Amino acid sequence: MNATSALMDSIYRHQRHFYDFTRKYYLLGRDRLIAELAPPEGGIVLEIGCGTGRNLIKAAKRYPHALFYGLDISAEMLMTAHTEIKRAGLEDRVKVAQADAADFDAAALFNRAAFDRVFFSYSLSMIPDWEGALARGYAVTAEGGRLVIVDFGEQKRLPRWFRRLLTWWLTLFHVAPRAELGPALEELGSAELKPLHGDYARLAEVPRDLRSQVAT
Ligand SMILES: C[S@@+](CC[C@H](N)C(=O)[O-])C[C@H]1O[C@@H](n2cnc3c(N)ncnc32)[C@H](O)[C@@H]1O
């Protein structure tokens, strides 16, 4: 597809087989995001950078009245997502497709133009054009809906040695916590940014104003 998809495939080609088992110990806040998602009855939800489909499957089980969509740039990750969605018997309510978060056409991919909930879970820190992806995510959030994000924070309240170790580890995986996330969200509207576990991670929420206009 492009250089990012080749890079992501190279990172995840082997890791996708043990990704879900290992990441549960350090991608913190994902279950809280799912618990707070609360889509409306008959609502539709999009995850941008859905990886193995772990969040989509958990959310679909928790909210049986909603439909779920996911996109990811890595064909390797999507192979695992397809297998797991099928294994969970959720093919009718969870659909995934390959696309770039910063440049996708939701109507062409899923026959849907806007979603009641749109979320990014530990993907903005890996997406090179994360600001473009954020704008795109907000643009496909339905009026009255919500854009939700969980990702690494700046670990400001954690010991310096821990910050250094984590930064080294994340760099190995081409992960860059987005220090500018707060200001970028504020430009979109009344964002709420909650630090989790001493700012190890951040959970943010931006309601899509009924009258807001963002260029797509
Ligand atoms: C750390 S994983 C997170 C996966 C999943 N959201 C989770 O919480 O387990 C980051 C994901 O972002 C995807 N990604 C990176 N750049 C992307 C882009 N430009 N467009 C779409 N997905 C992208 C990667 O392929 C990977 O699956």
pLDDT score of 215? 47
Alpha-carbon distance 99 to 5, whole Å? 9
Q: Are 55 and 24 in contact (CB under 8 A)?
A: no
CB proximity list for 157: less than 8 A, separation 6 or greater: 195, 198, 199
Ligand 1: centre distance to CA 38 (Å):
22
pLDDT in tens, the chain (216 residues): 688 888 888 888 888 887 887 777 778 899 999 999 999 999 999 999 999 999 999 999 999 999 999 999 999 999 999 999 999 999 999 999 999 999 999 999 999 999 999 999 999 999 999 999 999 999 999 999 999 999 999 888 888 898 889 888 889 888 999 989 999 998 887 778 899 998 899 999 999 976 555 544
Beta bridge partners, 120, equal 149
**pLDDT tens-digit series, residues 10-40:** 888 888 887 887 777 778 899 999 999 999 9
* Index of the ligand 1 atom closest to the CA of residue 8: 25
Instruction: Confirm whether pTM is higher than 0.85.
Output: yes
Sheet with 141-152, strands from edge to edge, namely 94-98, 67-72, 44-48, 115-121, 141-152, 201-207, 192-196
Alpha-carbon distance 1 to 99, whole Å? 9
Ligand 1: centre distance to CA 127 (Å):
7
First CA to last CA distance, the chain: 22
pLDDT score of 216? 46
pLDDT score of 211? 59
pLDDT score of 110? 98
Helix (H, G, I), strand (E, B) or coil at 138: helix
pLDDT score of 84? 96
The domain ranges of the chain are 3-207
Residue with tokens 């496909």: 140
What CATH superfamily classification does 3-207 receive?
Vaccinia Virus protein VP39 (3.40.50.150)
Name residues contacting ligand 1 (CB within 6 A). 4, 8, 23, 27, 30, 49-51, 54-55, 72-74, 77, 100-102, 121-123, 126-127
Ligand 1: centre distance to CA 77 (Å):
8
Q: Ligand 1: which residue has its CA nearest to atom 17?
A: 127
